Chains A and B, each alone.
Chain A
Amino acid sequence: MTATSSARAVLDVEAIRRDFPILATEARGHPLVYLDSAATSQKPRQVIDALAGFYSTCNANVHRSVHYLAERATTEYEAARARVQRFVNAKIPECVVWTRGTTEAVNLVANAWGDRHVGAGDTILVTEMEHHSNLVPWHLLAKRRGARIRSVPVTDDGDLDLDAAIARLSERPKVFALTAKSNVLGTETPVAELCRRAREAGCVTVVDAAQAVPHGPVDVQELGCDFLAFSAHKALGPMGTGCLVSRVEMYDRMGPWQGGGEMIRRVQIDESTYAEPPLRYEAGTPAAADAVAFAAALDYLEAAGPAAIHEHETRLTALAMGLLRDLGIRVLGPSAPERRAGIVSFEVPGVHPHDVATLLDGRGIAVRAGHHCAQPLMRRFGVQATVRASFYLYTTEDEVRKLADGLRAAMEYFRR
């Protein structure tokens, strides 16, 4: 693949595609057209090899035994933590806690921080475009603590309503849970500005970066958030692992969460003391091989260049939006492709999203149809479900054209 960090780099998509064995799949008799990367990305052989490599050469439990393999496994695992730290520019590796993914990372904050700082009558601020994973943990916290939920509405163009956000922040919520990039609309939100305003209002920020980290540069210090959550599997890494990146000062304000091995300092029969973070939040045997494979994924993304990936996705998004508009299809969300790179959600007139997805599937085209785990946002736009096509560094213009051809055929099929 073309390895360069220049912001003006153009991806060598054909070379990249050769790194992804699954892209050679034949689906329903057609070459696979995978347009569901926002649900999970495909994995390059470098990541698959790293996963197999861990089990082939250094498999042992981490942070426990003193033998040769255990030492190798622990070193690799901690090197992966440092790799994440560099990728998102966190201050020190200890800012990074390994979790099962974005969902567990948010649950960790809602419990370990939330239970200590959110009380009866307090406000938890969310946005109307949150994924259920940055919504339901806050519902549970609100129920436990007697707090209330307020939300920042979404404009007709699919942006956060900034004036409303500022007004809500002046009501002094305890925490603001916001997405950096909507998984439905693709909207990139003004995270840095909102975090700055939240900080001025004394409000803690929890950013869902599940769709942001895979698709462009993310600098956690530039964003200025207190917590950042994301998953490995949407960023070329394995499923079932992810990270919570915290401002290191936040650890002083958090209690323990899940108890078990690895998170302790000393255990007696009736009480225990805890390890320092991040290990305090990694109870039990972690997904060490997956962490190591995620480091390989981040190497791959860095070599391709996050800015170049974003530019490539912007180009594909612009192409898709133009082709869909010509077909009379309503695309939800921002009209500017560079502010929604890689994600296009739409409604096909006269055809239900599930029927669209089945018809496209018959041509080997994989899209997502449904509510995308964002039911409040679906209600906001008066739809029950949409079709979502999502692109990544391995998506080609030809694939986007195949999508448009498939949609034209679906519309004609139901019109017959």
Chain B
Amino acid sequence: MTVPEPAFDALYRELILEHYRAPHGKEPLARTDGKAEGMNPLCGDEVDVAVEIGDSGRISGVLVDGRGCAISVASGSILHDLVVGRTPAEARRILEAVKATLQGGSPPTDLDLGDFEALEGVRKFPVRVKCALLPWTTLGEALRDVESRNGRSGGTT
């Protein structure tokens, strides 16, 4: 049953609710090449992001694990869709574009942020921006973890 709550339809777009109900990125990874734990101290929400790097050097899998609100869960699901198949450098560029979008800046025009555009309504709800950012900032840390693990293994071989 649909309840008329027009003020929220900009925030909770149908696409966001679809991602929230059946989020992507819940499949366990064959291997973890980097991971990080994110936390939103405001609400206590926690999210773990793990990445797997394939032989081609591209991200072959992302696991977004944790409980959260509709905004953070949908954001994590879209994150999965956007970064799988990208190189870590491309993923970082998307991450920066997402941050710029949420914080009211203008992202590069040559990047297609796919379903993420549905999350742009969050900008009107400043306290909720952190919810949308949480999986992304955690991805940034997971990518740093990939680099530091590479650094270590590089040093031993």
- Residues of A whose CB lies within 8 Å of any CB of B are 28, 352-355, 358-359, 362, 369-371, 375, 378, 384-385, 409, 412-416
Contacts and interface: CB of A to CB of B under 8 A. Distances in A.
A46 B12 CA distance: 42
B7 A369 contact: no
Interface string B1-15: 111010110011000
A378 B43 CA distance: 11
A358 B8 contact: yes
B42 interface: yes
A35 B65 CA distance: 33
A352 B68 contact: yes
A359 B68 CA distance: 16
B70 A385 contact: no
B67 A384 contact: yes
Contacts of A412: 1, 3
12 contacts: A352-B69, A352-B70, A354-B128, A362-B5, A362-B8, A371-B43, A371-B44, A384-B44, A384-B46, A385-B44, A416-B2, A416-B3
A358 B44 contact: no
Contacts of B113: none
Among all A-B residue pairs, the 8 with the closest Cβ atoms: A371-B44, A352-B69, A354-B69, A370-B43, A362-B7, A384-B44, A416-B2, A412-B3
A358 B2 CA distance: 17
Given A358-B128, A370-B44, 18 more contacts: A352-B70, A352-B73, A353-B43, A354-B69, A355-B71, A358-B125, A359-B5, A362-B7, A370-B43, A371-B44, A384-B67, A385-B43, A385-B44, A413-B3, A413-B8, A413-B12, A416-B1, A416-B3
Contacts of A352: 67-70, 73
B8 A385 contact: no
B69 A355 contact: yes
B45 interface: yes
Contacts of A384: 43-46, 67
A194 B7 CA distance: 49
Contacts of B131: 354
Contacts, number: 58
Contacts of B118: none
B44 A409 contact: no
Interface residues of B, number: 23
B58 to A, nearest CB: 33
Nearest to A356: B69
B82 interface: no
Contact of B44 (A355, A375, A413, A416): A375
B84 interface: no
B67 to A, nearest CB: 6
B43 A369 contact: yes
A411 B43 CA distance: 20
B72 to A, nearest CB: 8
B124 to A, nearest CB: 11
Nearest to A374: B44
Nearest to B7: A362
Contacts of A359: 5, 8
Contacts of A353: 43, 69
A111 B101 CA distance: 46
Nearest to B44: A371
A353 B72 CA distance: 12
A355 B42 contact: no
B70 A414 contact: yes
A375 B131 CA distance: 18
Contacts of B45: 354, 384-385
Contacts of B46: 384
A375 B68 CA distance: 16
Nearest to B131: A354
B152 to A, nearest CB: 31
A291 B71 CA distance: 42
Contacts of B12: 355, 413
Interface in B47-91: 67-71, 73
A373 to B, nearest CB: 10
Contacts of A414: 17, 70
Contacts of A416: 1-3, 17
Interface string B122-138: 00010010010000000
* Best-buried of B7, B71, B125 by chain A (most CB within 10 Å): B7
A354 B45 CA distance: 10
A413 B5 contact: yes
Contacts of B8: 358-359, 362, 413
Contacts of B70: 352, 355, 414
A409 B5 contact: yes
Nearest to A411: B3
A155 B6 CA distance: 42
Contacts of A370: 42-44
* Best-buried of A28, A369, A385 by chain B (most CB within 10 Å): A385
Nearest to B70: A355
Nearest to B5: A413
A284 B46 CA distance: 40
* Best-buried of A28, A352, A412 by chain B (most CB within 10 Å): A352
A415 B131 CA distance: 21
Nearest to A352: B69
